[in-house]
Structure 1
Amino acid sequence: MWLLAGCGRESFCAAAVLETRRSTQIANPTTLARMNQSRECAVRRQGAFARRSASVLVALSVAACTEHGITNPNPIPTPANTHPGFDTSIYPGDAAMSVWVKPSSPYEWVGYYLAAPCHRDPSWMGKRVTLTAMGWGLAVLFVGQQTFDGVPDIQLPPVFDRVAPTGVDSLPRARAGIMVPPTEAELQSGAVTCSRTLLTTEQGSADAIDAVTKTASEGFPLGTVIYLDIEHMDAIPASMDAYYRAWVQQVLADGRFRPGIYVHKANAAAIYEGVRRAYTDMNASGSAMFWITSSTGFSIDKSPQEVGFVWASVWQGMYEVTQTWNGATINIDVDVADMSSPSSP
């Protein structure tokens, strides 16, 4: 059926074949011109049919996905070395996570937030065994001290779509300055946990001990990568340099886990160099893992290195997008990694 449709009509095909056979015997210019026109017509008809067939197949695929309960069928086949994941501040619940794991969604791994100075919510804690049993890869995150005061407000619902148009780099909520300031009681009691006044070498070491202790208590294996979350800065103060370098060196000195850094593209090169010096000062081999955030040019079928750095292992590029898979809706940031579990030893 496809072959007949490709020629258009059976009689047209017969005529084209007849003209071809005669071409070896007839040298008349008029006949040759007619024969060439017939061939061109057949080629055009075949191309049009192929395009129509491809459109039908795509439509059938989308319909099949929707019929089986996938609201947002994945439009992009991801390469073998690209592993989509997502992160969201508050744990979505076991029911949602169980129906989102690939192949029900495109996502293979998820960010695993430790309770931390600038991320007090503990909802991810205690979920490692549950998530790995479901088949999720994990990326351990520790949100340490920042250059702002107050804890990012992770409870606010998304108020606008943060997917940036091509060529424009947007920022996640914390980078936009949506924070819960310290209460008067916290200020008076000295119980503030997230403040630029805590960007010191001593606090960097203390927060590293906190991070490795919690990672161990969650049952993560030796060699797991812990990503220190450093939010976007217009300029990197010396106090931040002192803080993150002390954090990295304390993780190295402890020896149970490996340091990683989550950082905005605008600050990435400078912090990469600072981390490299921290390794050198410790006479440590290897290098930290880097998770770069930037919305410019992002797609889940790209490799992390396409963010612009060959040393990037993870790329976060879509912020606060709401997606539904298998009937479960979650507000997420979207990432790609060069491994299916970015914290794996």
Structure 2
Amino acid sequence: MHLGFDRSDYPGDAVMQSLWDNTPLAFAAAYLAPAPSHPNTSWMSAVPTLTGMGWGLAPVFVGQQAPGGPGSHVLTAAQGTVDAQTTESLGQTAGLAPGAVVYLDVEIGGRLTPDHLAYVAAWANSVTADTSYNPGVYCSFSQTAAQITAEVGTIPVWVFHPVDAGPSQIDLATENPPDPANSGFAGALVWQYRMSLSGSVNLNWTDSATPKHLQQVDLDSATCLDPSHPDHTDRKASRRRKRQLEHSGPRHGAH
């Protein structure tokens, strides 16, 4: 299994380089924005830098959300088609490679309403037919993932199912990412298993004997190094990550 993280605000190039050089983290979420329910654009200009470092990515498009929650709430099939085109435009602006999987963010858990499901299906079908990218979904492990995949077919699924509510201090030297198959949805490719909900999940690591910290993150595990290209065997990236872990010494443990 491979370890990753997501965070609304981009931590900066220096932090990402330190994490890449000194921890077992292999991938990070990259928010395509401004999106209907995520105005923060800080990750957009970082995509070429991150791929250049060697990071895998989990591109996220935070689309329309259920009424009562944050963001925009236009849950129609027509809006799903519009938002697919926005996804295409933002992906190109960010420098996301053609063929990459983009994960539609669905924040509400449980079974979706018919309108919400129609929106998700229209987005996924339009991304498939009309853009240079491929659809995935970020959603709850409980009912939502099964409902969406039953409607749109097999697509990469990133589920959220926290093992605790925080606060948590994560020592990246010893953190062992769990198998997404144990997330509650057996078909999950990625599992967001620690979340900054009522408390804060903070990452801790050492760079040249100096303690480093990153606050307010969610922690993820995946069955691949790069959730944006889960079926692509990148031997160069695999060798780079293997060399990195070997050179880092025993403080990373066995991953």
Structure 2 match to 1:105:
23
Alpha-carbon deviation of 1:144? 0.5
Aligned-pair identity (%): 38
Query: What do residues 37-67 of structure 1 show as CA deviations (whole Å, max 9, x unaligned)?
Result: xxxxxxxxxxxxxxxxxxxxxxxxxxxxxxx
TM-score, normalised to structure 1, is 0.57
Runs of 4+ in 1 over 6 A off after TM superposition: none
Cα distance in 2, alignment partners of residues 101 and 84 from structure 1: 11
The aligned amino acid for 1:100 is L
Contact 1:83 1:340 (C-alpha < 8 Å) held by counterparts: yes
Alpha-carbon deviation of 1:329? 2.1
Name the SS for the 1:108 alignment partner.
strand
User: Which of 79, 89, 96 in structure 1 is aligned with 2:15?
Assistant: 96
Query: What do residues 68-114 of structure 1 show as CA deviations (whole Å, max 9, x unaligned)?
Result: xxxxxxxxxxxxxx110000011011111111115x12211100001
Name the SS for the 1:273 alignment partner.
helix
Q: Which has the larger radius of gyration?
A: 1
Alpha-carbon deviation of 1:234? 4.5
Contact 1:147 1:233 (C-alpha < 8 Å) held by counterparts: no
The aligned amino acid for 1:256 is S
Change (3 A) 1:243 1:257: same
Q: How does 1:226-245 map to 2 (within 5 A)?
A: 226-245=102-121
Give the alignment's Cα RMSD to 1 decimal: 2.0
Contact 1:245 1:274 (C-alpha < 8 Å) held by counterparts: yes
The answer on 1:289 being equivalent to 2:156 is: yes
When the two structures are aligned, how many residues end up with a matched partner? 210
Structure 2 match to 1:44:
none
Structure 1 match to 2:75:
199
More helix, by proportion = 1
Cα distance in 1, alignment partners of residues 163 and 40 from structure 2: 29
Query: What do residues 251-292 of structure 1 show as CA deviations (whole Å, max 9, x unaligned)?
Result: 01114111000011112211221222xxxxxxxxxx311001
Alpha-carbon deviation of 1:304? 1.4
**Greater mean alpha carbon deviation, residues 138-147 or residues 219-228:** 219-228
Name the SS for the 2:25 alignment partner.
coil
The aligned amino acid for 2:80 is G
Cα distance in 2, alignment partners of residues 301 and 234 from structure 1: 25
Contact 1:300 1:335 (C-alpha < 8 Å) held by counterparts: no
User: Which of 253, 256, 259 in structure 1 is aligned with 2:135?
Assistant: 259
Structure 2 match to 1:148:
67
Structure 2 match to 1:323:
203
The answer on 1:272 being equivalent to 2:149 is: yes
Structure 2 match to 1:31:
none
Structure 1 match to 2:50:
131
Query: What do residues 283-328 of structure 1 show as CA deviations (whole Å, max 9, x unaligned)?
Result: xxxx31100110249x743221121333211011101201222343
Name the SS for the 1:271 alignment partner.
helix
Contact 1:149 1:195 (C-alpha < 8 Å) held by counterparts: no
The aligned amino acid for 1:335 is D
Q: How does 1:115-130 map to 2 (within 5 A)?
A: 115=33, 116-130=35-49
Alpha-carbon deviation of 1:149? 4.4
Cα distance in 2, alignment partners of residues 235 and 340 from structure 1: 30
Contact 2:4 2:219 (C-alpha < 8 Å) held by counterparts: yes
Name the SS for the 2:115 alignment partner.
helix
The aligned amino acid for 1:208 is A
Alpha-carbon deviation of 1:235? 4.1
Cα distance in 1, alignment partners of residues 2 and 36 from structure 2: 29
TM-score, normalised to structure 2, is 0.77
Structure 2 match to 1:187:
none
Q: How does 1:173-252 map to 2 (within 5 A)?
A: 194-196=71-73, 198-252=74-128
Contact 2:32 2:94 (C-alpha < 8 Å) held by counterparts: no
Contact 1:109 1:138 (C-alpha < 8 Å) held by counterparts: yes
Cα distance in 1, alignment partners of residues 88 and 18 from structure 2: 30
Cα distance in 1, alignment partners of residues 138 and 202 from structure 2: 22
The aligned amino acid for 2:3 is P
Gaps of 5+ in 1: 1-81, 152-193, 277-286
